[in-house]
Amino acid sequence: MTIILFLAVLSVLVVVHELGHFLAARLFGVGVEEFGLGFPPRLLGWFRNGRHHWRAIGWRTRRRRHHTIFSLNWIPLGGFVRLRGEEGIRWPGDKTNFANKTVGQRAVIIVAGVVMNIVLATVLFIGGLTIGWPQATDNLHSGARVISRQVAVIEVLPDSPAKQAGLQPGDAIVQAGGLAVESIAGLRLINSDSAGQPVNYQISRQSKMINLAIAPQPMEISGGQYGIGVALAESGLVAYRWPQAVWEGLSLTANNLKDIAVGFWYLLAGLFQGQDMSDQVAGPVGIAVLTGQISHLGWIYLLQFIALLSLNLAFINILPLPALDGGRLFFIVLEKITGRPTRANLEVAIHNIGFILLLALVIFITFQDVGRLIK
């Protein structure tokens, strides 16, 4: 079920991204040869013959002139839109050729996929904040309505009483010592009153209730106060009325994009400094595992995860790296600056090499993910 759910989430993100390219291409009259979900070889394909009739085609069919092939392919880890003339070959007089369009039109078509991923995340944020969105409840704006308050564990210190008892990040502390836990301050008071005696903790973990006996100890990190060695956050489902939900959703999108950019910067800085940053990166296997874990928390948490994945996909795609949208945009901007396009065969070769390197990176990260799972 985790694999099926992961593929469904990935398909939504890919379809939305490629739909951006598709709609922008159609807007400027560029021919779309194929809209594919997954990577070749092709499993199934269709094209519309006339206004109301659809025809199925086999895996060998490459292109139907004036028709767009909609295909389902065997490798379910991405998707693509193949535009007429995207290889940079200019056919004089062909108004449907991508290479014959203006620099501005081509730039819009390339960026449209990234924009659609940002739009998807924003729509999910706005919708979620209308009905109740999971987030920290400190520093909320006026007008916020909090549902289902809880104290969540965000980090467990090594060699701490919590670690020894089996407490995990993501756990929600429901009760301690038979008393309901509604705030971090209240939990600290319960720990202080225990005087080092075991306290029964009722924990909510992936929609299941478990009980753990943990004896709070004086913690050096908190000045000798009794604790169990965890970092906590007060959270809940936060909702706003419709007009404010729109503004809060836009703000949440902008703040998350900023956090992604900052995180990526620190990741690069760590790599250049020789630090081991492998635990900061996840590939398809790692994301699939996270998808399964988050799905147990509830559908609203899964939607939040999809929104964050969509923003990450948008940010990565706009980076000026070969084979990515940002790499293609780089050559368009370079053409604008120099006044002449890069040779088509050179640009294609650079993108192909970039794709191979990116594929090798994904395979490497996948082995890292599998290694962490085995441990």
CATH code at 192? 2.30.42.10
Distance in angstroms (rounded) separating the CA atoms of residues 215 and 194: 8
Q: Residue 113 in contact with residue 327, Cβ under 8 Å?
A: no
Which of 178, 173, 215, 176 is closest to 198 using CA atoms?
Answer: 215
Q: Residue 153 in contact with residue 166, Cβ under 8 Å?
A: no
Which H or E element spans position 98?
none
For the chain, state the CA radius of gyration: 25
| Total tally of structural domains belonging to the chain | 1
Q: Which amino acid is at 25?
A: A
Q: Quick one: DSSP state of residue 340?
A: S
Q: Name the phi and psi angles at 167, rounded to 5.
A: -70, 145
Q: Quick one: DSSP state of residue 141?
A: P
Which of 211, 227, 222 is closest to 166 using CA atoms?
Answer: 211
Q: Does some domain include residue 316?
A: no
Distance in angstroms (rounded) separating the CA atoms of residues 85 and 207: 52
Q: Residue 114 in contact with residue 314, Cβ under 8 Å?
A: yes
Q: Does some domain include residue 362?
A: no
Q: Does some domain include residue 197?
A: yes
Distance in angstroms (rounded) separating the CA atoms of residues 133 and 278: 30
What pTM was estimated for this model as a whole? 0.83
Which H or E element spans position 338?
helix 325-338
pLDDT tens per residue across all 375 residues of the chain: 788 888 889 899 999 999 999 999 999 999 998 899 888 888 888 887 655 565 666 655 555 556 788 888 888 878 899 998 887 777 777 888 998 899 999 999 999 999 999 999 999 999 999 999 888 887 788 889 988 888 988 888 888 889 999 998 888 899 998 888 888 888 888 988 887 789 999 998 877 899 999 999 888 777 778 889 888 888 888 999 989 999 999 999 999 999 999 998 988 888 777 776 666 777 778 888 888 878 877 888 899 999 999 999 999 999 999 989 999 999 999 999 999 988 888 988 999 999 899 888 888 888 887 877 776
Q: Give the CB-side neighbour count of residue 237, counting CA atoms within 13 A.
A: 13
What domain range includes position 166?
A: 145-238
Distance in angstroms (rounded) separating the CA atoms of residues 182 and 186: 7
Distance in angstroms (rounded) separating the CA atoms of residues 331 and 362: 24
- 175 forms bridges with which residues in the sheet? 180, 202
Q: Does some domain include residue 172?
A: yes
- 205 forms bridges with which residues in the sheet? 208
Q: Does some domain include residue 149?
A: yes
Q: Does some domain include residue 64?
A: no
Q: Does some domain include residue 176?
A: yes
Structure confidence at residue 311 (pLDDT): 97
Distance in angstroms (rounded) separating the CA atoms of residues 213 and 165: 7
Q: Does some domain include residue 174?
A: yes
